């Protein structure tokens, strides 16, 4: 998979834009001749207990716990795909597919106008992975790709289609306008965006499948001389979070992206409520010569922590422990969720010795604390699971909201007026809160090699305090580094901080004496180290293990080079 993307804007000019969108998407939610309305997509994410994920590897039933099969679909395997959809429907799982190339109208109808299983379910999640030309994502192929995506959308939305409410996306096609630090800009990208805002609008997609592959050549990093931090690991972690955030901010503003459920969309067409389901992986450096340790593609691209990267001017000590560990990947998944991602679509693991099952387990651990293997020394420990479960309970509240989408937090007393403080500090925070529940959970991560202090400021107009005395009082001070307003995040660590919304005394003095005012504030209750086992930071990163197996068997890179470029652009 590969791809880059731009914005569409169904709300761009109020009701006029909505009218345009309806024209593009066709009639949604029509009543059929049998009197039945087309079904809403099955929810993928409704806390605390609904959490479904897709994966490149999961194409057949039965699929692992929490994952639904999304078979790769072509004109030549329609009966197979139909059978898998029936099995998914009868198992109570969502129905989704991946599509690499255009389908004939007859084959599209056989999928999108079919009632699957005993309850007559529809295919509801369609992950486009269309390519043009020889498969490389270049500007010459752009028109063909977009035409294929629009054709697919029109086939899904065809009047009378049973799947006309489905979510349809294309790898990398997201609502961004350009590159840089600002509204609807991708602050992490190297090189230009391939698609434009109008591309996203005109194709009619309603699902942003953002490409979030740490190690991809389209991310800035220390190895490419354009990342404001000395460590590769900070770019691998913060970069994808930055891109995901830019996309989600646009979706929230222009496409009702804060609507949680697909089944209770305030009575409107589901196509008015876009979702972000990004493609994610722990690592994938296909095509990135700056992270190829031995400087040759003969054995595939390999990033070996501890080995020099002379092309990047880095010695072995500078690359040591610079891979994302398993705990880092789980933390990254939780940051995505805390910032508004609806679900995730896993690609291949991209790390030597790291299995598909382990990556799936780490995704569970990060998303909802649900590791299937709690005894795994590389997985989430009991503290992590319980802390994430606490956040999961906040997500379950009807009024829960993301606490921040900032990429420019106050770290060590300063923010960055002209850039991204999370970039040069390697430190970032995300959170979810419920005023009804009076709880706020914050995940703060520091992927740098030195400690940092982070200030959370205010959340929903209530100041956030990180210290209290035995009576439940706190204090405030004039310094940007006042201890009661800052939290220490150790080098290379992740912390989950749990706050309560309370009305209490806030003293002017750290001695808790003298003048005070009574305020309603977020006051720290618990502070846990989470996702702490990161021995995997020394692991070797590669584009995709499956590809290397194919290379060994076939003895030819030509057999797979197109497939790799598709996934990683």
The pLDDT of residue 272 is 62
Q: What is the pLDDT of residue 135?
A: 39
Which residues neighbour 186 within 8 Å (Cβ) at sequence distance 6 or greater? 176, 178, 179, 180, 193, 242, 243, 246
Q: Rounded to whole angstroms, what are the CA distances from 498 to 79, 376, 466?
A: 50, 26, 10
3-state secondary structure of 223: helix
State the distance between the two ends of the chain, measured CA to CA, in whole angstroms: 7
Nearest by Cα to 210 from 162, 163, 245: 245
- Cis upstream peptide for 62 (omega within 30°): yes
With tokens 């202090």, the residue in question is 453
What the block records as the tokens of 185 is 């800009």
Using CA atoms, how far residue 398 sits from 259, 337, 395, in Å, is 11, 16, 8
CA 35 to chain centre: 38
- What's the rounded Cα separation, in Å, for the pair 179 and 199? 16
Written as six digits, the tokens of 24 are: 């593009």
As given in the structure block, the two tokens for residue 26 are 């066709």
pLDDT value, residue 357? 95
Radius of gyration for the chain, computed over Cα atoms and rounded to the nearest angstrom: 23
Burial of residue 516 (number of CB atoms within 10 Å: 0-12, 13-18, 19+): middle
Q: Where are the beta strands (DSSP E) in 447-546?
A: 452-455, 458-459, 462-465, 474-475, 486-489, 493-507, 516-530
* Closest listed residue to residue 409, CA positions, set 448, 435, 437: 448
List CB contacts of 157: < 8 A, sequence separation 6 or more: 25, 26, 27, 28, 164, 204, 271
Structure tokens at 154: 């029109």
Q: What φ, ψ does residue 267 adopt, rounded to 5°?
A: 80, 0
Q: Which of 569, 97, 51 is nearest to 341 (CA)?
A: 51
Each residue's pLDDT tens digit, 349-372: 999 999 999 999 999 999 999 877
Give me the residue label for tokens 């994610």.
Answer: 280
Query: From CA 411, how far away is CA 471, in angstroms rounded?
Result: 29
- CA distance linking residue 407 with residue 1, whole number of Å: 26
Q: What number of CA atoms fall less than 13 Å from residue 31's CA on the CB side?
A: 1
Which residues fall within 8 angstroms of residue 73, CB to CB, at 6 or more apart? 81, 97, 98, 99, 100, 103, 111
Mean pLDDT by 10 residues, the chain (569 residues): 29 27 35 64 94 97 97 96 98 97 95 96 96 46 88 95 95 93 91 84 94 96 95 98 96 87 55 87 95 84 95 95 96 98 97 95 93 66 90 96 97 88 97 98 97 98 97 95 98 97 97 97 97 89 62 30 38
How far is it, in rounded angstroms, from Cα 66 to Cα 370? 10
Residue 372: per-residue pLDDT: 74
What pLDDT score does 337 carry? 98
Provide CB contacts within 8 A for 464, sequence distance 6+: 440, 442, 456, 457, 458, 485, 499, 521, 522
For residue 53, report the phi and psi dihedrals to the nearest 5 degrees: -130, 150
- Calpha distance 551→270 (Å, rounded): 43
Q: For the purposes of burial, counting CB atoms within 10 Å of the CB of 424, is it exposed (0-12), middle (13-18) or buried (19 or more)? A: middle
The pLDDT score that the predictor gives to residue 374 is 66
């Amino acid at each position: 998979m590969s791809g880059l993307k731009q914005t569409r804007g169904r709300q761009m000019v109020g009701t006029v834009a909505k009218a345009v969108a309806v024209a593009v998407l066709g009639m949604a939610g029509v009543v059929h001749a049998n009197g039945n309305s087309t079904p809403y997509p099955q929810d993928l994410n409704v806390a605390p207990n609904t959490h479904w994920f897709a994966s490149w590897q999961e194409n057949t039933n039965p699929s692992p716990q929490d994952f639904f099969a999304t078979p790769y679909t072509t004109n030549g395997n329609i009966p197979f795909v139909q059978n898998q959809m029936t099995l998914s429907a009868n198992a109570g799982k969502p129905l989704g597919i991946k599509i690499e190339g255009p389908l004939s109208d007859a084959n599209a109808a056989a999928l999108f106008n079919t009632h699957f299983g005993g309850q007559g379910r529809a295919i509801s999640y369609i992950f486009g992975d269309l390519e043009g030309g020889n498969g490389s994502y270049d500007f010459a192929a752009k028109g063909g790709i977009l035409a294929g995506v629009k054709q697919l959308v029109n086939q899904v939305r065809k009047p009378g289609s049973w799947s006309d409410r489905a979510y349809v996306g294309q790898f990398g096609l997201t609502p961004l306008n350009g590159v840089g630090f600002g509204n609807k800009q991708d602050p992490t990208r190297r090189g230009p965006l391939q698609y434009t805002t109008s591309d996203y609008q005109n194709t009619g997609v309603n699902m942003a499948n953002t490409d979030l592959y740490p190690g991809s050549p389209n991310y800035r990093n220390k190895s490419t001389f354009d990342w404001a931090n000395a460590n590769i690991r900070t770019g691998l972690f913060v970069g994808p979070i930055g891109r995901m955030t830019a996309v989600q901010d646009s979706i929230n503003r222009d496409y009702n992206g804060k609507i949680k459920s697909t089944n209770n969309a305030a009575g409107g067409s589901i196509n008015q409520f876009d979702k972000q389901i990004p493609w994610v992986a722990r690592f994938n450096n296909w095509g990135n010569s700056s992270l190829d340790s031995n400087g040759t593609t003969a054995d595939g691209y390999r990033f070996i922590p501890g080995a020099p990267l002379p092309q990047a001017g880095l010695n072995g000590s500078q690359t040591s422990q610079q891979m994302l560990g398993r705990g880092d990947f789980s933390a990254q998944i939780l940051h995505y969720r805390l910032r508004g991602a609806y679900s995730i679509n896993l690609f291949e693991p991209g790390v030597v010795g790291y299995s598909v099952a382990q990556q799936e387990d780490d995704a569970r651990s990060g998303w909802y604390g649900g590791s299937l293997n709690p005894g795994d020394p590389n997985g989430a420990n009991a503290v992590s699971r319980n802390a994430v479960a606490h956040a999961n309970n906040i997500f379950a509240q009807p009024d829960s909201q993301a606490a921040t989408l900032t990429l420019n937090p106050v770290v060590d007393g300063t923010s960055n007026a002209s850039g991204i403080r999370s970039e040069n500090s390697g430190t970032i925070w995300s959170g979810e809160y419920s005023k009804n529940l009076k709880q706020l959970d914050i995940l703060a991560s520091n992927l740098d090699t030195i400690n940092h202090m982070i200030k959370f400021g205010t959340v929903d107009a209530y100041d956030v305090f990180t210290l209290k005395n035995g009576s439940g009082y706190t204090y405030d001070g004039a310094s940007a580094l006042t201890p009661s307003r800052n939290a220490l995040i150790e080098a290379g660590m992740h912390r989950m901080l749990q706050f309560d919304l309370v009305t209490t005394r806030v003293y002017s003095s750290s001695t808790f004496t003298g003048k005070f005012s009574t305020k309603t504030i977020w006051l720290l209750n618990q502070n846990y180290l989470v996702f702490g086992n990161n021995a995997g930071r020394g692991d070797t990163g590669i584009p995709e293990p499956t590809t290397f197996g194919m290379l060994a068997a076939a003895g030819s890179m030509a057999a797979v080079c197109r497939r790799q470029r598709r996934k990683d652009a």
